[in-house]
Amino acid sequence: MWDAFVAVFARDVLQAWRRRADWLTTIFFFVIVVSLFPLGVGPEPALLKTMAPGIVWVAALLAAMLSLPRVFGTDFADGTLEQLVLTPQPLPFLVLAKVLAHWLLTGIPLAVIAPVLGLQFGLEGEPVVVLFVALLLGTPCLSLIGAVGAALTLGVRGGGVLIALLVLPLYIPVLIFGAGAVEATVAGTGAAGHLSLLAAGLLIAIVLIPWAVAAALRIALE
């Protein structure tokens, strides 16, 4: 079972490596969206500092969402997904491997870049660290929830926009606790509560969501 898990994971990472440009686009999208905000609201440092956690998180949400169609899209187009569903291995487990690959390719880069963007917005010291940790805990939730949307919209008319409609409302708790963690640190009340709620949400999502994704994939391939 682990062999299959590792094989699916390695395959996705390898494919992404061959198509680096696709994944880099997502990262640059993230950076560009964040950079647009100071141009839109003005360069006042105090304002930017209060808005920074929210801006970075909203941009992370959008970037994670944009990359979702690729999670199952190529495999669906070339028939690999059908093989995957037919293997005797438990499908939720294989889904988890694909989600993990997606997180490695989008979530981690976003979390790594975010502190730099945070510095641009005048966040320093502890809030930057919390931003990084919160993104590390939150982005796997985004990948998991997003996988449901990606599986449901496979081969559906207007898939890309539809994913946004399905997934963004479900992202809201992650946004609230993620941005809240950074804001709480800035305000000096400590981020422990927010971060533990994010972690709890992640655990629940890891247990439940692969089943939903597996069911959605079976429906899409019927």
Partner 1 sequence: MALNWFKYSSPQTFYPLAGRLIPVFAVLAAVLGAVGLYIGFFVAPTDFQQGEAYRIIFIHVPAAWMSMFIYLVMAGWAAFGLILNTRLSSMMATALAPTGALMTFLALWTGSLWGKPMWGTWWAWDARMTSELILLFLYIGFMALQASIDDPRRADKAGAILALVGAVNVPIIYFSVKWWNTLHQGSSISFGRSPSMASTMLLGMLVMALAYWMYCIAAALMRVRSIILERERNAQWVRDLKGAPA
Residues of this chain that interact with partner 1 (CB under 8 A) are: 145, 148, 152-153, 156-158, 162, 165-166, 168-170, 172-173, 176-177, 180, 183-184, 201, 208-209, 212, 215-216, 219-220, 222
The contacts found for 25-29 with CB under 8 angstroms, 24 or more apart, are: 26/63, 26/64, 26/66, 26/67, 26/106, 26/109, 27/63, 27/106, 27/109, 27/110, 27/113, 29/62, 29/63, 29/66
The residue (of 31 and 164) whose beta carbon lies closer to partner 1 is 164
The residue (of 92 and 109) whose beta carbon lies closer to partner 1 is 92
The residue (of 102 and 105) whose beta carbon lies closer to partner 1 is 102
Minimum distance from residue 3 beta carbon to partner 1 (Å): 29
The residue (of 130 and 212) whose beta carbon lies closer to partner 1 is 212
Minimum distance from residue 177 beta carbon to partner 1 (Å): 6
Minimum distance from residue 213 beta carbon to partner 1 (Å): 9
Minimum distance from residue 156 beta carbon to partner 1 (Å): 5
The residue (of 79 and 193) whose beta carbon lies closer to partner 1 is 193
Minimum distance from residue 206 beta carbon to partner 1 (Å): 14
Count of C-beta atoms within a 10 Å radius of residue 46: 8
The residue (of 67 and 153) whose beta carbon lies closer to partner 1 is 153
Minimum distance from residue 182 beta carbon to partner 1 (Å): 12
Minimum distance from residue 138 beta carbon to partner 1 (Å): 12
CA distance 143 to 90: 20
The residue (of 24 and 156) whose beta carbon lies closer to partner 1 is 156
